[in-house]
Amino acid sequence: MWRHPESGAEVFRRPGAHGDAGSALKAHLTHSLHIIPGHKQRKPNADKRGRRPYSVVWVIHIKMHVSFDTTLPFPQSYSPEYVEFGWYQWWEKQGFFSPEHKQPHAVDKYFSLCIPPPNVTGTLHLGHALTVAIEDALARWRRMQGYKVLWLPGCDHAGIATQSVVERKLMREQGKCRQDYSREEFLKQVWRWKNQKGDEIYYQLRKLGASLDWSRACFTMDPGFSIAVTEAFIRLCDSGLIYRSEGLVNWSCALESAISDIEVDSKELSGRTLLSVPGYEQKVEFGIMVTFAYPLEGQREVAVSTTRPETMLGDVAIAVHPDDPRYKVKTLVFEWILLTFNFAFIGAVKVTPAHDHTDFLLSQRHSLPSLTVIGGDGIMTSDCGQWLEGVKRFDARERVITALMERKLFRGKKKHPMSLPICSRSGDVIEPLLKKQWFVRCQEMSRKAVQAVEEGDLQIIPHFYTKMWKSWLSNSSDWCISRQLWWGHQIPAYRVTDDPNVPAAEQCWVWGRSAAEARQRAAVKFGVNPDAITLTQDPDVLDTWFSSGLFPFAMLGWPQQTEDLKQFYPNSILETGSDLIFFWVARMVMLGRELTGQLPFKQVLFHSLVRDKYGRKMSKSLGNVIDPLDVISGVSLERLQEKVREGNLDPRESIVAMEAQKKDFPKGIPECGTDALRFALCSYKAQGEDISLSVSHVLSCRHFCNKMWQTVRFTLATLHDASLPTSLAETYPLSSMDRWICSRLHSTVQQCERGFESYELHTVTSALHSFWLHSLCDVYLESIKPVLKGEGCCSEEQRARERQVAASVLYHSVSISLALLSPFMPFLTEELWQRLLPYTDSDGTSRSLCVQPYPKTSQLVRNKPEEADFSLVEEVVRVARLLRAQCQLTKERPDCERTSNFPFYSNDVSIYRLLMTLSLSVNLQNGINADKQRALLSQRREKLASKLKQALACTQKPNYTEKVPDKVRKDTENKVGTEENGQMHFTKNCTYHISHKMK
Please indicate, yes or no, whether residues 685 and 726 belong to a single structural domain of this protein: no
Please indicate, yes or no, whether residues 266 and 282 belong to a single structural domain of this protein: yes
* Distance from C-alpha of 371 to C-alpha of 355, rounded to nearest angstrom: 9
CB 433 within 8 A of CB 374: yes
Q: Is the pLDDT of residue 918 over 80?
A: no
* Distance from C-alpha of 18 to C-alpha of 56, rounded to nearest angstrom: 12
Say which residues have a Cβ less than 8 Å from residue 29's Cβ, sequence separation at least 6.
Answer: 35, 58, 60
Domain-embedded: residue 923: no
Mean pLDDT lowest for which of 29-43, 110-124, 215-229, 663-677? 29-43
Please indicate, yes or no, whether residues 707 and 623 belong to a single structural domain of this protein: no
* Distance from C-alpha of 661 to C-alpha of 656, rounded to nearest angstrom: 9
Residue 459 CB: number of other CB atoms within 10 A?
A: 15
> Tell me, what's the pLDDT at 526?
82
Tell me the HSE value of 575 on the side-chain side, using a 13 A CA sphere.
26
Domain-embedded: residue 184: no
Please indicate, yes or no, whether residues 363 and 295 belong to a single structural domain of this protein: yes
Please indicate, yes or no, whether residues 680 and 719 belong to a single structural domain of this protein: no
> Tell me, what's the pLDDT at 19?
41
CB 686 within 8 A of CB 607: yes
What backbone phi and psi angles, to 5 degrees, belong to 844?
75, 20
CB 380 within 8 A of CB 389: yes
Nearest alpha-carbon partner for 807 in 794, 789, 788, 792: 788
* Distance from C-alpha of 65 to C-alpha of 69, rounded to nearest angstrom: 12
Could you read off the pLDDT of 39-90 as tens digits, one per residue?
A: 333 333 333 333 333 333 333 333 233 445 555 678 889 999 999 989 999 9
Q: What is the CATH number of the domain that holds 731?
A: 1.10.730.10
Q: Where does the pLDDT of residue 996 fall: very low under 50, low under 70, confident under 90, or very high at 90 and above?
A: very low
Tell me the HSE value of 344 on the side-chain side, using a 13 A CA sphere.
25
Domain-embedded: residue 22: no
Domain boundary among 415, 433, 451: 433
Nearest alpha-carbon partner for 159 in 629, 543, 710: 543
* Distance from C-alpha of 905 to C-alpha of 735, rounded to nearest angstrom: 10
Q: What is the mean pLDDT of residues 176-186?
A: 92
Please indicate, yes or no, whether residues 689 and 826 belong to a single structural domain of this protein: no
Domain-embedded: residue 597: no
Domain-embedded: residue 378: yes
Mean pLDDT lowest for which of 87-96, 185-194, 651-660, 918-927? 918-927
> Tell me, what's the pLDDT at 16?
45
User: What 8-state DSSP symbol labels residue 277?
Assistant: -
> Tell me, what's the pLDDT at 27?
34
Domain-embedded: residue 940: no
Packing angle, helices 761-770 and 674-682, rounded to 10: 120
Say which residues have a Cβ less than 8 Å from residue 258's Cβ, sequence separation at least 6.
Answer: 249, 250, 251, 252, 435, 437, 480, 482, 483, 484
Domain-embedded: residue 931: no
Q: What is the CATH number of the domain that holds 289?
A: 3.90.740.10
Please indicate, yes or no, whether residues 806 and 685 belong to a single structural domain of this protein: no
More confident residue, 988 or 891: 891
- DSSP-assigned letters across all residues of 785-798: HHHHTT-SSS-HHH
In 3-state terms, what secondary structure has residue 257? strand
Please indicate, yes or no, whether residues 295 and 274 belong to a single structural domain of this protein: yes
Say which residues have a Cβ less than 8 Å from residue 398's Cβ, sequence separation at least 6.
Answer: none
> Tell me, what's the pLDDT at 925?
55
Q: What is the mean pLDDT of residues 289-307?
A: 80
Q: Where does the pLDDT of residue 755 fall: very low under 50, low under 70, confident under 90, or very high at 90 and above?
A: very high
Could you read off the pLDDT of 919-942 as tens digits, one per residue?
A: 656 665 555 677 777 787 788 888
Could you read off the pLDDT of 577-608 as tens digits, one per residue?
A: 988 888 899 999 999 999 999 999 999 999 98
What backbone phi and psi angles, to 5 degrees, belong to 244?
-110, 130
Question: CA-CA distances (angstroms) from residue 526 to 238, 241, 505, 515?
Answer: 16, 22, 11, 16
Please indicate, yes or no, whether residues 649 and 794 belong to a single structural domain of this protein: no
Say which residues have a Cβ less than 8 Å from residue 125's Cβ, sequence separation at least 6.
Answer: 610, 618, 625, 626, 627, 628
* Distance from C-alpha of 563 to C-alpha of 552, rounded to nearest angstrom: 14
Q: Is the pLDDT of residue 912 over 90?
A: no
Q: Are strands 493-496 and 535-537 parallel, antiparallel or unpaired?
A: antiparallel
pLDDT above 70 as % of the chain: 79
Q: What is the mean pLDDT of residues 240-255?
A: 93
In 3-state terms, what secondary structure has residue 519? helix
pTM value is 0.82
Mean residue pLDDT across the chain: 81
Say which residues have a Cβ less than 8 Å from residue 487's Cβ, sequence separation at least 6.
Answer: 157, 159, 162, 163, 166, 186, 187, 190, 541
Q: What is the mean pLDDT of residues 626-649?
A: 86
Please indicate, yes or no, whether residues 709 and 688 belong to a single structural domain of this protein: no
Nearest alpha-carbon partner for 841 in 821, 811, 810: 811
Q: How many domains does the chain contain in total?
A: 4
* Distance from C-alpha of 454 to C-alpha of 448, rounded to nearest angstrom: 10
Could you read off the pLDDT of 514-568 as tens digits, one per residue?
A: 999 999 999 888 888 888 888 999 999 999 999 999 999 999 999 999 999 999 9
* Distance from C-alpha of 495 to C-alpha of 995, rounded to nearest angstrom: 88
The string over 818-833, giving b where at least 16 C-beta atoms fall within 10 Å of a residue's C-beta and e elsewhere, is bbbbbbbbbbbbbbbb
Hey, which of 138-147, 252-261, 292-301 has the most confident mean pLDDT?
138-147
Q: Where does the pLDDT of residue 180 fall: very low under 50, low under 70, confident under 90, or very high at 90 and above?
A: very high
> Tell me, what's the pLDDT at 593?
96
* Distance from C-alpha of 179 to C-alpha of 539, rounded to nearest angstrom: 14
Q: Is the pLDDT of residue 8 over 70?
A: no
> Tell me, what's the pLDDT at 845?
52
Show the domain range for 636: 611-693
Q: What is the mean pLDDT of residues 338-344?
A: 44
Beta strands across the sheet bearing 479-480 = 257-258, 242-252, 431-440, 479-480
Q: Is the pLDDT of residue 160 over 80?
A: yes
> Tell me, what's the pLDDT at 54?
31
Mean pLDDT lowest for which of 211-215, 386-390, 753-757, 859-863? 859-863
Q: Where does the pLDDT of residue 993 fall: very low under 50, low under 70, confident under 90, or very high at 90 and above?
A: very low
More confident residue, 638 or 991: 638
Domain boundary among 675, 693, 711: 693
CB 391 within 8 A of CB 380: yes
More confident residue, 661 or 707: 707
* Distance from C-alpha of 841 to C-alpha of 836, rounded to nearest angstrom: 11
Q: Where does the pLDDT of residue 693 fall: very low under 50, low under 70, confident under 90, or very high at 90 and above?
A: confident
* Distance from C-alpha of 444 to C-alpha of 435, rounded to nearest angstrom: 24
Domain boundary among 851, 873, 895: 873
> Tell me, what's the pLDDT at 348?
38
More confident residue, 877 or 253: 253
> Tell me, what's the pLDDT at 115?
94
Q: Which residues sit opposite 541 in a β-bridge?
A: 483, 490
Domain-embedded: residue 678: yes
Handedness of CA 366, 368, 373, 377 (dihedral sign): positive
Looking at residue 294, its amino acid is Y
> Tell me, what's the pLDDT at 832?
95
> Tell me, what's the pLDDT at 916?
45
Q: Where does the pLDDT of residue 270 fall: very low under 50, low under 70, confident under 90, or very high at 90 and above?
A: very high
Please indicate, yes or no, whether residues 649 and 775 belong to a single structural domain of this protein: no
Residue 614 CB: number of other CB atoms within 10 A?
A: 11
What backbone phi and psi angles, to 5 degrees, belong to 255?
-90, -20
- SS3 of 825-868: the string is CHHHHHHHHHHHHHHCCCCCCCCCHHHCCCCCHHHCCCCHHHHH
Please indicate, yes or no, whether residues 675 and 760 belong to a single structural domain of this protein: no
> Tell me, what's the pLDDT at 12?
41
More confident residue, 176 or 996: 176
Say which residues have a Cβ less than 8 Å from residue 424's Cβ, sequence separation at least 6.
Answer: 263, 264, 265
